[in-house]
Chain A
Amino acid sequence: MNKLIRFLQNYLIIGLPLVVTYITLTNIGLGKFMHDVLTHYKFIWSLMGFGMIFWFVLLILFLISLVLIPSAREKTLKRLANLQERDEREQYITGKASRTAYISTLSLMILFLFFSVFTLSIYKNPPEKSANGRYTLSMGVHYTMLSKSDVHSRSEGTALFDTTDIFPSTSTVILILLIWQLLAFNLAARREQRG
């Protein structure tokens, strides 16, 4: 199993520049030119395309293996998280830094959860309804389990401010959490190391 994981790691790392080149060339429109016009590049271009598909399939397998196989997770993510546990002091530092990262990430996740379920909107009322005031402030709590629904105030006016418009996408939230956790861990570990 370890050999397979090592093969996947090496293939993904070695193939990365090719995949980036392929995607860049395709995005700037050069890919179609190379495929259509330069006939002797056609084969290489098609081969690169298949290589890229294979690379992404292996990437998916690798990411699944990280979740399911503890040894793969240990080897790969230890490097990413910059975990050093050569002796008891480093294990102690890792423990303290993990605690800090866990607590701070938990607080961030609670904040994100709050902002994802809480809605606040300020609407400017249409002239025909301005008898009740010029603005409508609406607050609510909304939780959806499967996907982000289009939650907006039922007010008919022009939206001046709506929290549903400023909340980041799921990918952004996950990226923020990932960066936050890595930073929190590394900063705490550095602080501990300085004593």
Chain B
Amino acid sequence: MPRIEGKLAIDNCIQPLRIKRNLTQQDLADAVDVTRLTIIALEKGSYNPSLELAFRLANFFKVRIEDIFFIK
């Protein structure tokens, strides 16, 4: 089985998806039930969400998780 060592650099495309839908950070935060600061941290890439929040974001944008989050 391959071993993955070190911390993975995970990036996301939440900001483009949000802008594409004409949403403010607060709108998205309300939709997925988090604070606006969390959306800011997600867009900056300084916070990796839980699997549950990742699913909520994917459901909201109607895309797959791997379409939002990917390894750099």
In the complex, the number of residue pairs spanning A and B with C-beta atoms less than 8 Å apart equals 28
Asked if B41 is an interface residue, CB under 8 A from chain A, the answer is: yes
A89 and B44: CB pair below 8 A?
no
Query: How many chain A residues have a CB neighbour from B under 8 Å?
Result: 8
B41 and A86: CB pair below 8 A?
no
Given the known inter-chain contacts A86-B35, A89-B37, please indicate yes or no for A195 contacting B44, CB distance below 8 A.
Answer: yes
Q: Type the 1/0 row for A72-107, where 1 means its CB is closer than 8 Å to any CB of B.
A: 000000000000001111101000000000000000
* Distance (whole angstroms) from the CB of A82 to the closest CB of chain B: 15
Asked if A193 is an interface residue, CB under 8 A from chain B, the answer is: yes
A87 and B44: CB pair below 8 A?
no
Of residues 38 through 71 on chain B, the ones whose CB sits less than 8 Å from some CB of chain A are 38, 41, 44, 46-47, 49-50, 52-53
Residues of A within 8 A of B52 (CB): 88
Given the known inter-chain contacts A195-B46, A195-B47, please indicate yes or no for A90 contacting B41, CB distance below 8 A.
Answer: no
B49 and A88: CB pair below 8 A?
yes
Identify the closest chain B residue to A92 (Cβ): B47
Asked if B23 is an interface residue, CB under 8 A from chain A, the answer is: no
CA distance A127 to B1 in the complex (A): 79
CA distance A89 to B50 in the complex (A): 9
Residues of B within 8 A of A87 (CB): 33-35, 38
* Distance (whole angstroms) from the CB of B10 to the closest CB of chain A: 14
CA distance A87 to B34 in the complex (A): 5
B47 and A89: CB pair below 8 A?
yes
* Distance (whole angstroms) from the CB of B38 to the closest CB of chain A: 4
CA distance A86 to B35 in the complex (A): 7
* Distance (whole angstroms) from the CB of A43 to the closest CB of chain B: 53
* Distance (whole angstroms) from the CB of B44 to the closest CB of chain A: 7
CA distance A195 to B50 in the complex (A): 16
Residues of A within 8 A of B38 (CB): 87-90
Residues of A within 8 A of B47 (CB): 89, 92, 195
Interface centre among A86, A88, A89, A92, by most B CB within 10 Å? A89
* Distance (whole angstroms) from the CB of A169 to the closest CB of chain B: 42
* Distance (whole angstroms) from the CB of B45 to the closest CB of chain A: 9
B44 and A88: CB pair below 8 A?
no
Residues of B within 8 A of A86 (CB): 34-35
Question: Interface residues, chain B, CB within 8 Å of chain A?
Answer: 33-35, 37-38, 41, 44, 46-47, 49-50, 52-53
For the A-B complex with A89-B34, A90-B38, A195-B46 known, give 11 more contacts whose Cβ atoms are closer than 8 Å.
A86-B35, A87-B34, A87-B38, A88-B34, A88-B50, A89-B35, A89-B38, A89-B49, A92-B47, A193-B37, A195-B47
